[in-house]
Structure 1
């Protein structure tokens, strides 16, 4: 039964997370979407533990937590795959056209610059980058973040993925 409690908590997270994301956008909260996901995970986890303790005489926390953790990680992985994905934005832009096609120049010259301006704005608003004349410069916070990311990439064995290698 503890596994069922974990599943109920995971479902609660899957319902709560998009609701909190909607509320955060509607109320213009200054929280990053990943922080909103973390809040939803903590709330759903606490509700699951409370439910397990109240209804099960032999509540097995780690059984419930394993199912909950698996569900949350799956949700977060899917969320991260589609959140602010440049590739998916290009695909969606093509799919929204009446003939579902566009010349590459339209995508490169029209859609891509807007997508990258949006990404640059996120970095600027986050205090990681500043615009100096027509150029961008990493702030001290940005340099610190870049070093952390580089360490994480090395720790996870992430190198050049070749996704943006247009050498042909």
Structure 2
């Protein structure tokens, strides 16, 4: 069992280092890298272990997997909170501001109107999920409509009434 714990921890260490390297060298979206890299490391780890380690009866596939995925999911939760937290970005802006102070209306403009609305609307347009018509109306594209419908089905399945 100790060997299984160690292997799960070692796989996570490999995934963590691979994530750090991928974030430094890749131009892909960080969220995609942080999700895809642990999957790739796990598959590679399973392939390597199936040829060598799991022949040893002291190793337990389930313990290795539990340790690995627990650490990966813990990391993903922390990464997501740091990556998307408006509160942390506001704190960083205050840290970088002259005299460590900003007007509350400036913070609201920057983080509520700009980042929470305008930037996200821009992402939707860039990803071809919506278009902005000349009159200012936002209209879903067929791709955006299918993603919205899938989201609605998943929310209904889990009885999610409000999200945001």
Q: Distance in 1 between matches of 2:149 and 2:96?
A: 39
Aligned residue in 1 for 2:18: 16
Q: Gaps (5+ residues) in structure 1?
A: 164-168
Q: Distance in 1 between matches of 2:88 and 2:149?
A: 28
SS of 2:98's partner is coil
Residues 1:110 and 1:3: Cα distance change in structure 2 (over 3 Å):
closer
TM-score by length of 2: 0.79
TM-score by length of 1: 0.77
* 8 Å contact from structure 2 (residues 19, 33) kept in 1: yes
| Number of equivalenced pairs | 157
Match of 2:38 among 22, 30, 41: 41
* 8 Å contact from structure 2 (residues 86, 111) kept in 1: no
**Comparing both structures, which one devotes a greater share of its residues to helix?**
2
Aligned residue in 2 for 1:74: 74
Q: Which moved more, 1:124-133 or 1:109-118?
A: 109-118
Match of 1:135 among 101, 123, 137: 137
Q: Gaps (5+ residues) in structure 2?
A: none
* C-alpha deviation, 1:40, in angstroms: 1.0
The two structures, once aligned, show a CA RMSD in angstroms of: 2.4
Q: How does 1:56-95 map to 2 (within 5 A)?
A: 57-58=56-57, 59-95=59-95
* 8 Å contact from structure 1 (residues 128, 142) kept in 2: yes
Deviations 1:120-148 (A, max 9, x none): 22211111111112232221211221222
* 8 Å contact from structure 1 (residues 153, 159) kept in 2: yes
* 8 Å contact from structure 2 (residues 12, 71) kept in 1: yes
